[in-house]
Amino acid sequence: MLARHSIFTTLALATALLFAAPALAADAIYTNWLGKAIAGYDPVAYHTMGKPVEGNGDFTTKWMGAKWYFASARNRDKFAAMPEQYAPKYGGYCAYAVAQNSTAKIDPEAWKIVDGKLYLNYSKGIQKTWEGNQAAFITAADKNWPGVLN
């Protein structure tokens, strides 16, 4: 009976350790499962066209370990010259989530430019919540970033 209990305990512990996910720090740039920053949308277009525009696989660059997509070679070159000017705040994670000291994926259609900076959010609904008190959320997110990645 004792041997059976020990075997069961050992198997349960081994199973728990096998399936336990280690706590990993988030990447500095949020990418989707294909490794695309902003889900393949052009970060420059938000600034220059005032709307989200899907990038083209012919116009890409790597920056901060992520692959960035652009609608044109011109936008790619602008980004490559000054990525900090065009890249979204908080590595492209949801601005509202970062304000809550967390991270979340984004919807490229849920965005806003504030003081020349691109902010992305999880959804259009979260975007409305964020816009309701965006100054406070930006202040909180600025305090949490980049520590929230750990």
Cα–Cα distance for residue pair 109/69, rounded to 1 Å: 15
Flag whether 111 is in a domain.
yes
* pLDDT one-digit tens code per residue, 51-109: 999 999 999 999 999 999 999 999 999 999 999 999 999 999 999 999 999 999 999 99
Question: At which residue do the structure tokens 């305090």 appear?
Answer: 143
Residue 23 has pLDDT above 80, yes or no: no
Residue 130 has pLDDT above 90, yes or no: yes
What's the pTM? Answer: 0.83
Q: Residue 9: what are its φ and ψ, rounded to 5°?
A: -65, -45
Question: At which residue do the structure tokens 């990525």 appear?
Answer: 83
Closest CA to 38 of 79, 68, 74: 68
Flag whether 1 is in a domain.
no
Length of the chain: 150
* pLDDT one-digit tens code per residue, 51-66: 999 999 999 999 999 9
Report the number of distinct structural domains present in the chain. Answer: 1
Which structural domain range is residue 43 located in?
26-149
Flag whether 86 is in a domain.
yes
Flag whether 102 is in a domain.
yes
